[in-house]
Amino acid sequence: MGSKMLTIALPKGRLGNQTLDVLKKIGLGDVVIESSRRLIFEDEQEMIRYMLVKPSDVITYVEKGVADIGVIGKDSILEENMDVYELMDLGFGKCVFAIAGKKGEIIHQRDEVLRVATKYPKIALEYFSLRNQPIEIIKLNGSVELAPLVGLSDVIVDIVETGSTLKANDLDILEEMYPISAKLIANRVSYRFNYERIKEITRKLETMKG
Provide the binding-site residues for ligand PRP, judged by CB under 6 A.
Answer: 142-143, 145, 158-165
Least distance (Å) between residue 21 CB and ligand PRP: 17
Distance of closest approach, residue 159 Cβ to ligand PRP, in angstroms = 5
Query: Which three-class secondary structure state does DSSP give residue 36?
Result: coil
Q: For ligand PRP, give the closer residue by CB, 7 or 118.
A: 118
Q: Give backbone dihedrals phi and psi of 158, rounded to 5 degrees, phi first.
A: -155, 170
For residue 90, the minimal CB distance to ligand PRP (Å) is 17
Residue whose C-beta lies closest to ligand PRP: 142
91 vs 163, beta carbon nearer ligand PRP: 163
Give the contacts of 45 (CB within 8 A, at least 6 positions apart): none
Provide CB contacts within 8 A for 135, sequence distance 6+: 113, 114, 115, 116, 124, 125, 128
Nearer to ligand PRP, 116 or 160 (CB): 160
List residues bridging with 134 in a β-sheet: none
CB 148 to ligand PRP: min, Å: 13
Nearer to ligand PRP, 6 or 171 (CB): 171
Smallest separation, CB 36 to ligand PRP (Å): 21
Q: Closest Cα partner for 58 from 109, 28, 16? A: 16
Q: Residue 8: name the closest of 27, 32, 26, 36 by CA.
A: 32
Is the CB of 63 or the CB of 145 nearer to ligand PRP? 145
**Is the dihedral angle over the CA atoms 112, 115, 121, 124 positive or is it negative?**
negative
- Least distance in Å: CB of 142 to ligand PRP? 3
Residue 10, burial from CB neighbour count under 10 angstroms (0-12, 13-18, 19+): buried
Task: CB nearer to ligand PRP: give 60 or 118.
Answer: 118
Region of residue 206 (left: phi > 0; alpha: psi -120 to 50; beta: else)? alpha
